[in-house]
Amino acid sequence: MQRQEICGERLQVIPTTQTTYNATPGQIGRDWAFALTAAAIGLAVSILLWLHVPGVNGPAHWRWWYRDPAVGFLFWFTLATLPILFCVLMPVTNSRDTLRAVVVITVAGAMLRAVVVLYLQPALGLGEIDQLVRSESATSYYYDGVRLIDHADARRAAGESVRHWLGLYDEFHPQTSVHTATKPAGGVIYWMAWRSAVGDEHAPLVGALTLMALTSLTPLGVWRIAMRLGVSTQSSILAAALMALSPGFLLTTPSFDAAYPLFTCSLILTWLSAVEHKRLIAICMSALILFIGTLMSLHLLCIGIAVIAAPFVAGRLSAKQIAKRSLAFAPIVVALTIGLYATMALTFGYAPIAVIKSCFINQAEWARQSPQWFTPGASLFNLSDGALGIGWPVAVAFVAAMFSKRCGHGSRQIAWIAAGTVVLAAGAHMLPAEVARVWVFITPLVVIPAAVFINQLADRPRALVLLASVLTTVATCGTLKFILGSAPAVR
């Protein structure tokens, strides 16, 4: 039997008993050494999580809530991982096999997210979603949106001229809660749009399910990015699978954090299309995605490094051509984004500059009240929390990919770009805590080089790493809560 792997336009035929490279006994020994190390780390972390050991659930300045896993959760969650494992362990021979595998991974990933949501609090079922969305602390966007609309109505009742509640957002922003206080108006707009469309009773559930459906497409986006960056078909499928199995991506459902990786994928793909093919529609779409992303959260700007670098990594054009087109198109994207903000300001009275200033002021106040979150030591320990959100075996593979010549120059570039994005996010102190949750937008850049590295291993070591990754995901999702609703939990 033979395993076939598609690398770009070239089809390579590879015996199933061999790795992608002609592995020597020494190389197979190193493969086993890595696999056993990654598996041991994954097993150790899983056991400590099952035992609710303090410190494994996050650094000292921010620890996630432990919970006791339900038997039903373990059964259905583990069952949903099996199609993903099947897709990554079975070889692909043609484009139809590839598409089938990616679709199965995407659907299975959606099932995993549904299981996570349904078992947030089994006694409440979907009612837990309603409570999470309306919560002042768990999400706060819906809560603050309702307060802002009530504030605008009160001003109108007092005889003041209020064009739209968005026109009051900058003045009301300092009074908002938790997550809203350091974010522009995007989250509030999303929930209030659903409230206007379907009413207050149904808006939280309908909006959350819509958000879940959209974000479930993220593994598909990761696969597409990997292919566009020149990663082989088998490794691209594995990258999609690792994204679907990412604990941080799963446990942030149904918050906006789970939607941010889709923003990463969308902006990279549209910019690649704009630069490589000089498509006007791609330039306009890049501006629209940038507008929506910055309206949701300013920390998404950290992904700019990866966006600009993507055409250079793909290598379909010369560096000179890429630089010339990037310098020509980037100002257009920025101008169109500013134009969208100007249109929003003229239509609704929204003041983007004032809101951005308010975000930074609130962030500075947050730093004053919680100085332990902003120390160099806290930034260092946040890396362990990031590994928890990605999955420890995958995080270990990512670090290995940064230095492995077997992964190829392009994959190492992606790994170092992801590392640079992490350093930028940590150094700017934009994301000082809850790292396993808020660094999810970087996960697509992490799983791609990790997948390339894992796929270079001999078959059995590769299978061991994948099993360890699944075990760690089951343990993490079964014992931790990243969004605290009504269920009792301890840190």
What is the pLDDT tens value at each position of the chain, 491 positions in all? 333 333 333 333 333 333 344 567 778 888 999 999 999 999 999 999 999 998 888 777 678 888 887 788 889 999 999 999 999 988 888 888 899 999 999 999 999 988 888 876 555 566 778 888 888 877 889 999 999 999 999 988 888 888 899 999 999 998 888 788 889 999 999 999 999 999 999 999 999 999 999 999 999 999 999 999 989 999 999 999 999 999 999 988 888 888 999 999 999 999 999 999 999 999 999 999 999 999 998 888 889 989 999 999 998 999 999 999 999 999 999 999 999 999 999 999 999 999 999 988 887 787 777 777 766 667 677 788 888 999 999 999 999 999 988 877 788 889 899 888 887 776 666 556 677 778 889 999 999 999 999 999 998 999 999 999 999 999 999 898 887 554 444 44
User: How buried is 191 (Cβ within 10 angstroms: 0-12 exposed, 13-18 middle, 19+ buried)?
Assistant: buried
SS3 269: helix
Number of neighbours of residue 240 by Cβ within 10 angstroms: 33
The enclosing H or E element of 95 equals helix 95-118
Pairing verdict, β 10-15 and 2-7: antiparallel
Give the position of tokens 């190492």: 412
Q: Dump the DSSP string for 346-365.
A: HHH---HHHHHHHHHHHHHH
Nearest Cα to Cα of residue 424 among 392, 391, 379: 379
Q: DSSP secondary-structure letter at 490?
A: B
Average pLDDT, the chain: 86
Q: Radius of gyration over alpha carbons of the chain, in Å?
A: 23
Strand partners, 35: none
| CA 251 to each of CA 4, 46, 179, 376: distance values in angstroms, whole numbers, following the listed order | 35, 16, 17, 27
SS3 29: helix
pLDDT tens digits for 308-341? 999 999 989 999 999 999 999 999 999 999 999 9
Distance from C-alpha of 304 to C-alpha of 119, rounded to nearest angstrom: 36
Strand partners, 14: 3
Q: Prior bond to 254 cis, omega within 30?
A: yes
CA dihedral of residues 256, 259, 264, 267 (deg, nearest 10)? -100
* 208 alpha carbon, distance to own chain's centre: 17
Tokens representing 348? 């609704």
Tokens representing 375? 């120390």
Q: DSSP secondary-structure letter at 168?
A: G
User: Taking the model in full, what pTM does it have?
Assistant: 0.89
Secondary structure of 290-315 in the HEC alphabet?
Answer: HHHHHHHCHHHHHHHHHHHHHHHHHC
> Contact, 358 vs 174, CB < 8 A?
yes
SS3 128: helix
* 172 alpha carbon, distance to own chain's centre: 29
Distance from C-alpha of 109 to C-alpha of 412, rounded to nearest angstrom: 27
What is the reported pLDDT for 310?
93
